[in-house]
Structure 1
Amino acid sequence: MLTVQAMTTYIGHKQIIKQGSFEVAAGDIAGLIGPNGAGKTTIMKTILGLMVFTGQIQINHQTVLEQDHHALAKVGALIEHPAIYPFLTGWDNLRLYAQTAANIQTVVTQLAMTTFIRQKAKDYSLGMKQKLGIALALLNQPELVLLDEPMNGLDIEATILVRKIIKQYARNGTTFLISSHILGELQKIMTDVILVNEGRIVLNQPVHKLNQLRQQRCHFVTDDIPTTVKLLQAQKIPIKSVHDGLSIDRGYLFQVQDLLAAHNLHLLALSPYDISFEQLIVRLLTQGNGVGR
């Protein structure tokens, strides 16, 4: 659905995004993750044809051009702040862009906006404005939706509701690119991760592959830790001290078990040693190594 190839985005003569390439398949929910200033919002603006860029961006096989936005006809977006007219009601804001009244009623009902949709937007709370911005992005049944910090200002109930709606749209084929600093929220919905740092795409992978990286080590305890350490070091097996035991890469597990048995050392405990998703992201950002799909 979305293919970005060698995209370089400029502000003046300065490169902000540098040779960025990634793809998102139809119906996927891609999380765009990175530290402040990494380029997440700039990437979204570039996809929308709002920035000067080189390279190629295609949406459903149609090329995005700076002077021709035909490829964006079925794209919805919420970037930075909801673009709403404060002296119009929420309904009238939606009516400006809606293709049919039925489309308006659909998003109003889905986002539980009935009680305030006829009020002027200038009187909305932050959460109400955010809901209206998300409604504008979902209006007219888009094929691709870009959401920049969509959970900003939403209470717990509204956050759960928005997650549910995103999953529902994705099941029906809508593709999402979502940026957020709240990794815990993204984890609950995203199928793919696009990691960006200092204007470069560090990683573009399905979540299930990243989870495999989180589970590559084992924690174990023996009845003689000092002797075990000397034995494994002599065999040049990389080990780390963890809590009351040791940690090894899973690839060495069978070799370690054989060595312990051969030297009459007893294995008292063995368990997977997983790192959190947040720890993995920090590690990948620190390493800065690009990993493809």
Structure 2
Amino acid sequence: MRHSASGASAGTRAGTRAGKEAGTRAGNPSVDQVIVTQGLTKRFRGGQLAVDGLDLAVPRGSVFGFLGPNGSGKTTTIRMLMGLIEPTSGSARLLGSPVPRGLRRVLPEVGALIEGPALYGFLSGRDNLRRYDAADPTADPRTRTARIGDALERVGLAAAAGKKARAYSLGMKQRLGLAAALLQPRQLLVLDEPTNGLDPQGMREIRSLVRELAADGTTVFLSSHLLDEIEQVCTHAAVMTRGRLVVQGPVAELSAGARGRLAVTTPDRADAVRVLKEHGVTDLAVAGEKVTGELPVPPPDLAVLNAALVRADVRVRAFGAERASLEDAFVALTGEGFDVAQ
């Protein structure tokens, strides 16, 4: 079943140092974290281990990217945090309250969009939001119409508010589910793959909205399998693979933990490859006039390497080390590829 929840209706190793710090924070409830888990584990019937000993720490005020390939355990983790399924073992705290015991108290402060919205197809988008808001005992019915209008405007659905939900595209349904999560101010917004089904323009709009919400003081916990999405909008991130946490910390630190690739633009590709190999550059690849490769450890002086290319009569049009990305960090940490579909 798919779920959309307003608050009341559901709901490193960037270096090793960052991972240890995150673990310390997770064990220290006095530090200001909106989500903390310790050893959180979920094993389904039949023995499938979906989440394995997760220690997560989400700082207040962050845009936290929960990153991993499809099937890595992201949605299962979110469903445990929202009280939709029980963990097998371990513990979790949401806004300082234990999960699931304290959810009744904190859910009014949490907006969530999980696995896409659950909508009444025979109702309009606006009337679906009325149903969601009416189910929230903390919602003021006197301001309902205005709040619904604001939420629809914010997600770009004002013009389609009167259309039946069954006629909505997947992207429009995602927007409507997000509007439901925004019907009231929230301390925490939990979004599971919020750009699913959106075209590039829609994805940009959702990213812009996430930035606005963060600027207003809302902590945003955003799961995605799109590396580009996390890099563009998130301040912090955690990487999951096969149910286990690989790394967590500030996005800039995660990327810095991986080496960037050397890139040389030249029409003399074969000569460039030969010279770079002689200087210890590995994993060489050629695409058009661009030659890239992994620098050895420790890396050589780039000026010396550039001079060697020139001495070999390689016409160098561009030369330098490219910034490492989250994809580079993921591959360096796990030795695996990653789904980077845009």
Instruction: Please give the TM-score of this superposition, normalised by the length of structure 2.
Output: 0.69
How far apart, in 2, do the equivalents of 1:195 and 1:33 lie? Answer: 5
Pick the aligned partner of 1:85 from 107, 116, 120.
120
* Partners of 1:64 and 1:71 within 8 A in 2: no
* Partners of 2:262 and 2:292 within 8 A in 1: no
What is residue 332 of structure 2 aligned with on the other side?
283
Counterpart of 1:19, as a letter, is G
1:195-219 residue CA offsets vs partner (Å, 9 max, x unmatched) = 1111111111211102212446767
2:230 pairs with 1:186 = yes
C-alpha distance 228-137 of structure 1, shift in aligned 2 (>3 A): same
SS at match of 2:194: coil
2:146 pairs with 1:146 = no
How far apart, in 2, do the equivalents of 1:46 and 1:226 lie? Answer: 50
1:238-258 residue CA offsets vs partner (Å, 9 max, x unmatched) = 763744988233x5546x98x
Give me the CA root mean square deviation.
3.2
Instruction: Please give the TM-score of this superposition, normalised by the length of structure 1.
Output: 0.80
Unaligned runs of 5+ in 1: 230-237, 289-293
What is residue 28 of structure 1 aligned with on the other side?
62
C-alpha distance 240-119 of structure 1, shift in aligned 2 (>3 A): closer
* Partners of 1:30 and 1:178 within 8 A in 2: yes
C-alpha distance 7-114 of structure 1, shift in aligned 2 (>3 A): same
* Partners of 1:89 and 1:120 within 8 A in 2: yes
CA shift, 1:68, in A, is 4.8
C-alpha distance 41-210 of structure 1, shift in aligned 2 (>3 A): same
2:67 pairs with 1:39 = no
Question: Equivalent residues in 2 for 1:218-237 (5 A)?
Answer: 225=275, 229=279
Counterpart of 1:247, as a letter, is L
C-alpha distance 244-2 of structure 1, shift in aligned 2 (>3 A): closer
Pick the aligned partner of 1:62 from 90, 97, 108.
97
CA shift, 1:150, in A, is 1.0
Counterpart of 2:35, as a letter, is L
Tell me the percent identity: 32
Counterpart of 2:151, as a letter, is V
Counterpart of 2:200, as a letter, is I
C-alpha distance 36-142 of structure 1, shift in aligned 2 (>3 A): same
How far apart, in 1, do the equivalents of 2:122 and 2:246 lie? Answer: 43
How far apart, in 2, do the equivalents of 1:93 and 1:246 lie? Answer: 53
1:64-120 residue CA offsets vs partner (Å, 9 max, x unmatched) = 225853232211111112111112221121122332323212211111211111222
C-alpha distance 218-182 of structure 1, shift in aligned 2 (>3 A): closer
C-alpha distance 228-152 of structure 1, shift in aligned 2 (>3 A): closer
1:117-170 residue CA offsets vs partner (Å, 9 max, x unmatched) = 122212222222111011112221121112111111222322221111100001
CA shift, 1:268, in A, is 5.2
CA shift, 1:11, in A, is 2.1
